[in-house]
Amino acid sequence: MYAPLLDHPVIAPLAAAILGAIFGSFIGALVVRWPAGRSILTGRSQCDACGAQLKPWQLIPLISYILLRGRCAACGTAIGWHCFAIELSAALIGALSLAVHPGAEGLAIAAFGWLLLPLALLDLRHYWLPHPLNAALALGALAGAALDIPPDWTSRLIGAGAGCGGLWLIALLYRLTRGREGLGGGDPLLLGAIGLWLGWQALPLVLLIASGLGLAVALVLQRRGHDLDAATRFPLGTLMALAAWPVALAGLSG
């Protein structure tokens, strides 16, 4: 029965949006708690300002934030908008994936976006691409391949090797010529996992879009008076994640 539901033009995107909002709530907790060394899976959710434990109705993705008008019900402190934004982003990823690609392929593209989202956020905030999340992304790609979701195994495996190996080689050459690190250790692994999802044919486009996004950010920062030089850090993982999911959504994978 699940196949017709995945193909339904209204039910499938709506269900994927709801599922995405739920995943987004977990992702929001992950990107806040993990870098702080707090448990992700255990412990009751509570207000960061007053410590009041949140009731079930205060934990409904998207809806609770709207009902509470962005404030804690106990102390009235403003709740960070980023959690709402993450839940909304994950919901849109699910809805768009199933609207554009009904069926199992759309669900796989949604999963790709949901796995990329925490990696993009952690790299943006902390320049950190955790190995467990990169591994989860790679395992998701293997699961898609096992279910015969395009691209084929050959394209995926070449993409994994080219993505990881190519970026690792660039990082090595940069270190040898400049005497300092130019890329984090998670960046080659992330591009390898992206290649495993999309196939090697999509990697040039992903890198081109990521480079364009980076250039646009640099221009905006310069116009705002920020001094940029060779040592300025950019979250390459965030840029690659932002580039990779639209490529998958547009059906431009190998």
Which tens digits make up the pLDDT trace of 57-86?
A: 778 999 999 988 888 777 887 887 899 999
Backbone angles phi, psi at 53, to 5 degrees: -70, 140
Q: If you average pLDDT over residues 128-152, what whole number do you get?
A: 96
With a CB cutoff of 8 Å and minimum separation 6, the contacts of 157 are 196
Q: If you average pLDDT over residues 103-121, what whole number do you get?
A: 97
Helix extents (H) in the chain? 2-7, 11-33, 63-67, 81-100, 104-126, 131-146, 153-178, 186-198, 203-223, 236-249
Backbone angles phi, psi at 71, to 5 degrees: -135, 150
Q: Does residue 1 carry a pLDDT above 50? A: no
Rounded CA separation 237/183 (Å): 10
Q: Does residue 230 carry a pLDDT above 90? A: no
Which tens digits make up the pLDDT trace of 185-219?
A: 899 999 999 999 999 999 999 999 999 999 999 99
Model pLDDT, residue 49: 65
- Going from N- to C-terminal start, the domains of the chain cover 1-102, 119-254
Concatenate the DSSP letters of all residues of 27-78 into one string.
HHHHHHHTTTT--SSSS--B-TTT-PBPPGGGGSTTHHHHHTTTB-TTT-PB
Which tens digits make up the pLDDT trace of 212-221?
A: 999 999 999 8
CB 253 within 8 A of CB 199: yes
